[in-house]
């Protein structure tokens, strides 16, 4: 495409001619693009384009920054040309110029921002956040310090892969799981690894919350272009806790564009969230679907072995020695998440060094009373059904179904029995949770299982294992 003739930053020199006809043709191009691109993309990129007119059979349009110009040239110039030619056949090309006073999209949409530029509290917090924008990575959050178990091995392997490979293998990497299970730890570990081994790659790590604050700040200062350029110039972008921007439409929109721009340029994007992409409520569908395009790795709740492993690894770093039995006790009792587990251990160690006494189970019970109580698990019928289904390798839905084959009916009876034993629910309540069965069915199930336990030692032992697994 011959754009030489008009490569100047001041289009006025060239004085393109703007007739009504051209304006009409341009309007229909815009209408068509709106249909093709959707409202959001349209208002970000097409709406701010200023029509200058025709000059030497070239359609001249202008935008406010070089960044916008480049973007439009690479993404939309060809399509604009095709569409414009339909009504103006003699046009030979489209020229995109930079004209400083053209409106930029984000400034234009700035006025109706629900994320709120209004309100002094937010304004204040934006400034507060600014001072701490340089996110420092936690030194302890490395791969070496990450204890691997069944619940996090996939996330760990994926994180490792992304950190080690220079070419992008899956994009984005999406890590999700409940609080305190190691998402941030893994993200920092990736960052540390890249900083150490590929120092030339430019990494940006920040929480989705900070992303939003920076965006709002850029809007306030009317320099969204600098904001965009900053984010689009990194090799690796990591956004932690992306669920934060659910329901925040403009930030989401901006994030979506940033995300797409980076993925299009084959830059690595790493995201964490508390839920899977499809379960993120308040997130736009197109964003949800894009977030799931790469590799989605979940971190499950911990199991006993992992908790014990983590406690052992962490307690090695303490000066006071902690008896294995105490660690086992903690691994049994503090099941919520790893952050609490660490907290418990720290508290215990602090207490021990104060009273300079060996830590035993009694002291542990005493010092961690509140934590232990909070972690007392309230087992639900759903938990029981899930474990029973897993144990017997059937589907949870089989437990609700009317199927009577032994391979289904027996586990169903076991689940009813355990529900009666391990929860406070009544017979009718339990019946309802099993596909709306009558309370007499539950009663019968309980008797049947009791009988079987008497007759069949193997069955009894198996049931015992199942029961124990539910009580940890």
Residues in the site for ligand ADP, rule: CB under 6 A? Answer: 141, 145-147, 152, 177, 179-185, 310, 338-339, 342
* Smallest distance, ligand ADP to C-beta of residue 185, A: 3
In this structure, what DSSP letter does residue 359 have? B
The residue among 44 and 184 lying less far from Mg ion, judged by its C-beta, is: 184
The residue among 274 and 429 lying less far from ligand ADP, judged by its C-beta, is: 274
Question: Is residue 207 within the footprint of Mg ion (CB under 5 A)?
Answer: no
The residue among 183 and 433 lying less far from ligand ADP, judged by its C-beta, is: 183
H or E element that contains 206: strand 203-207
Q: Which does 212 bind (CB under 5 to 8 A by kind): ligand ADP, Mg ion, none?
A: none
Q: Which does 431 bind (CB under 5 to 8 A by kind): ligand ADP, Mg ion, none?
A: none
Q: Which does 182 bind (CB under 5 to 8 A by kind): Mg ion, ligand ADP, none?
A: ligand ADP
Query: For residue 450, with 0-12 CB atoms within 10 Å meaning exposed, 13-18 middle and 19 or more buried, which class applies?
Result: exposed
Question: Is residue 250 within the footprint of Mg ion (CB under 5 A)?
Answer: no
Residue nearest to Mg ion (CB): 184
What tokens does 306 get?
Answer: 């992992």
* Smallest distance, ligand ADP to C-beta of residue 148, A: 7
Give which of 384, 371, 375 is closest to 429, Cα–Cα: 384
Question: Is residue 337 within the footprint of Mg ion (CB under 5 A)?
Answer: no
Residues 169-188: x/- map of binding to Mg ion (CB under 5 A)? Answer: --------------xx----
For residues 112 and 318, give the distance between their C-alpha atoms in angstroms, rounded to a whole number: 54
Q: Which does 152 bind (CB under 5 to 8 A by kind): Mg ion, ligand ADP, none?
A: ligand ADP
The beta-strand segments (E) located in 92-147 are 93-98
Helix (H, G, I), strand (E, B) or coil at 327: helix
The beta-strand segments (E) located in 39-180 are 50-55, 58-63, 93-98, 173-177
Is-contact 262 269, C-beta < 8 A?
yes
Q: Which does 213 bind (CB under 5 to 8 A by kind): Mg ion, ligand ADP, none?
A: none
Question: Is residue 152 within the footprint of Mg ion (CB under 5 A)?
Answer: no
H or E element that contains 270: strand 268-273
The answer for residues whose C-beta is within 8 angstroms of residue 48's C-beta and 6 or more apart is 63, 64, 68, 102, 103, 104, 105, 108
* Smallest distance, ligand ADP to C-beta of residue 29, A: 47
Helix (H, G, I), strand (E, B) or coil at 175: strand
Residues that bind Mg ion in the complex, under the rule CB under 5 A: 183-184
């Amino acid at each position: 495409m011959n754009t030489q003739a008009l490569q100047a930053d001041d289009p006025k020199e060239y004085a393109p001619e703007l007739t009504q006809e051209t304006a009409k043709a341009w309007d229909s191009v815009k209408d068509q693009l709106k249909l093709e691109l959707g409202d959001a993309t349209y208002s970000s990129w097409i709406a701010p384009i200023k029509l200058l007119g025709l000059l030497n059979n070239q359609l001249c349009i202008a935008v406010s920054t070089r960044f916008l110009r480049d973007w439009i040239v690479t993404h939309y110039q060809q399509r604009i040309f095709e569409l414009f030619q339909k009504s103006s056949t003699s046009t030979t090309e489209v020229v995109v110029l930079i004209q400083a006073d053209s409106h930029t999209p984000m400034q234009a949409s700035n006025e109706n921002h629900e994320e709120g530029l209004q309100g002094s509290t937010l304004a204040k917090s934006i400034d507060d956040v600014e001072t701490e924008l340089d996110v420092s990575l936690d030194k302890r959050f490395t791969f070496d310090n990450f204890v691997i178990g069944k619940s996090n091995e996939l996330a760990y392997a994926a994180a490792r892969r992304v950190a080690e490979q220079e070419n992008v293998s899956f994009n984005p990497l999406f890590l999700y799981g409940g609080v305190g299970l190691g998402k941030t730890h893994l993200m920092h570990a990736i960052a540390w690894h890249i900083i150490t081994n590929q120092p030339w790659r430019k990494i940006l790590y920040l929480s989705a919350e900070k992303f939003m604050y920076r965006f709002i700040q850029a809007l306030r200062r009317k320099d969204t272009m600098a904001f965009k350029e900053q984010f689009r110039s990194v090799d690796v972008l990591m956004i932690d806790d992306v669920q934060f921007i659910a329901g925040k439409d403009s930030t989401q929109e901006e994030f979506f564009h940033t995300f797409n721009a980076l993925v299009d340029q084959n830059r690595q994007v790493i995201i964490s969230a508390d839920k899977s992409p499809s379960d993120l409520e308040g997130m736009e569908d197109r964003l949800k679907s894009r977030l799931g395009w790469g590799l989605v790795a979940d971190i499950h709740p911990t199991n006993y072995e992992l908790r014990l492993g983590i406690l052992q690894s962490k307690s090695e770093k303490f000066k006071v020695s902690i008896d294995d039995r105490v660690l086992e006790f903690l691994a049994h009792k503090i099941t919520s998440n790893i952050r609490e587990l660490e907290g418990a251990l720290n508290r215990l160690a602090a207490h021990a060094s104060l009273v300079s006494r060996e830590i035993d189970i009694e002291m542990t019970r005493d010092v961690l009373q509140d934590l232990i109580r909070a972690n007392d698990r309230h087992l639900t019928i759903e938990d029981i059904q899930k474990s029973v289904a897993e144990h017997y390798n059937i589907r949870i839905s089989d437990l609700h179904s009317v199927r009577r084959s032994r391979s289904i009916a027996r586990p169903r009876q076991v689940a009813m029995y355990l529900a009666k034993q391990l929860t406070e629910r009544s017979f009718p309540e339990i019946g309802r949770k099993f596909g709306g069965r009558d309370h007499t069915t539950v009663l019968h199930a309980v008797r049947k299982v009791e009988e079987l336990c008497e007759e069949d030692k193997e069955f009894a032992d198996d049931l015992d294992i199942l029961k124990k697994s539910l009580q940890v």
